Amino acid sequence: MQYKLVVLDMDGTLLNNDHQVSNANKEAIHRLKQEGTSVVLASGRPYESIYPYVKDLEIDLPIIAANGALIKNPVSNEVYYSTGLPIHLAKEIIQYGQENQYPISLYFDGEVHTFNESMIKVHWELEKLKARVINKVEEDKDLYKIIYANTPPKIEEAFKHLEQKYKEKLYITRSDDVYLDVMNINASKGKALHQLMDRLNILSHEVVVMGNSYNDIAMFEVAGLAIAMDNASQEVKDAADFVAKSNNDDGVAYAVDRYILNV
């Protein structure tokens, strides 16, 4: 099978635990491009945090950011798709989080706002973005994503509550065991991948997706070949066709050589 598109999640997949792309993974991406296979990065991160990696890897295809709430071309800066949260629902999600003592951050276009000073360090260390502390949401901007941060049991508790209450109104997922993400009902990595495939005239059986978290399952359902990292949860592994090595063991390079290039 000649795959035309490889879609890579970032944290826990392409990036190791130091948030770096290993030399082996860089070389694997280079080999893919040499073979004529396109590469796209798809992440829960905001666009501004993904762009430096895209530039370093010399990827010129659109970026899927904020769990699919934004698709943006890194060369022309053209926005192909964006969908923000309805403000009345956003306020309800923020209120619930504050009442239950969840640190909360908000992703806007080009900005990260947070209600909790403790999250400033988190966003800088993870995304190299300077979050701004606020005390109320700015309603005149498109809000792409709301994040709760907490322990895995608390994130699971919030996920079950919000999923039951808002499953017909909002897209709620977990980008990690300690983060819960809330977006527009029309946003997901899977839906964004569908849009990108239509734009590139690529069919499902020509697409490979690699990921490690719950928000990647939506892409697994779209792709012809779904590969989970060994550091993924069992639920994510069960949704994949194959399991590669972990993100700290050059799992992307391993999967590229074994399942795509057949080295």
Q: Quick: pLDDT tens for 72-131.
A: 999 999 999 999 999 999 999 999 999 999 999 999 988 999 999 999 999 999 899 999
pLDDT at 1: 62
pLDDT at 194: 95
Separation of alpha carbons 63 and 192, rounded Å: 10
Work out the average pLDDT over 209-220. Answer: 96
pLDDT at 57: 96
| Confidence at 263, pLDDT banded by 50, 70, 90 | low
Q: Does domain 5-82+188-260 have CATH number 3.40.50.1000?
A: yes
pLDDT at 175: 85
Inter-CA distances, 188 with 19, 182, 202, 237, Å: 23, 10, 19, 19
pLDDT at 139: 86
Radius of gyration of the chain (CA): 17
pLDDT at 109: 85
pLDDT greater at residue 110 or residue 233: 233
165: tokens are 């209450």
Separation of alpha carbons 103 and 61, rounded Å: 33
pLDDT greater at residue 126 or residue 251: 251
Q: At what angle do helices 152-166 and 87-99 cross, to 10 degrees?
A: 140
pLDDT at 141: 86
Entry pTM: 0.92
Instruction: List phi, psi (to 5°) of 156.
Output: -65, -40
pLDDT at 251: 97
Inter-CA distances, 126 with 2, 26, 54, 114, Å: 35, 20, 16, 15
Measuring CA to CA, which residue among 232, 223, 128 is closest to residue 175?
Answer: 232
CB atoms within 10 A of CB 111: 15
Domain ranges, ordered by start, for the chain: 5-82+188-260, 87-184
Measuring CA to CA, which residue among 257, 243, 259 is closest to residue 24?
Answer: 257
pLDDT at 211: 97
Q: Quick: pLDDT tens for 10-69.
A: 999 999 999 999 999 999 999 999 999 999 999 999 999 999 999 999 999 999 999 999
Domain at 87-184, CATH from 3.40.50.2000, 3.30.1240.10, 3.90.220.20, 1.10.150.120: 3.30.1240.10
The alpha-helical segments, DSSP class H, found in the chain are 23-34, 47-57, 87-99, 118-127, 152-166, 189-200, 217-220, 234-239, 251-255
Work out the average pLDDT over 187-209. Answer: 96
Q: Quick: pLDDT tens for 132-185.
A: 999 888 888 899 999 999 999 999 999 999 999 999 999 999 888 899 999 999
Measuring CA to CA, which residue among 131, 218, 143, 136 is closest to residue 173?
Answer: 218
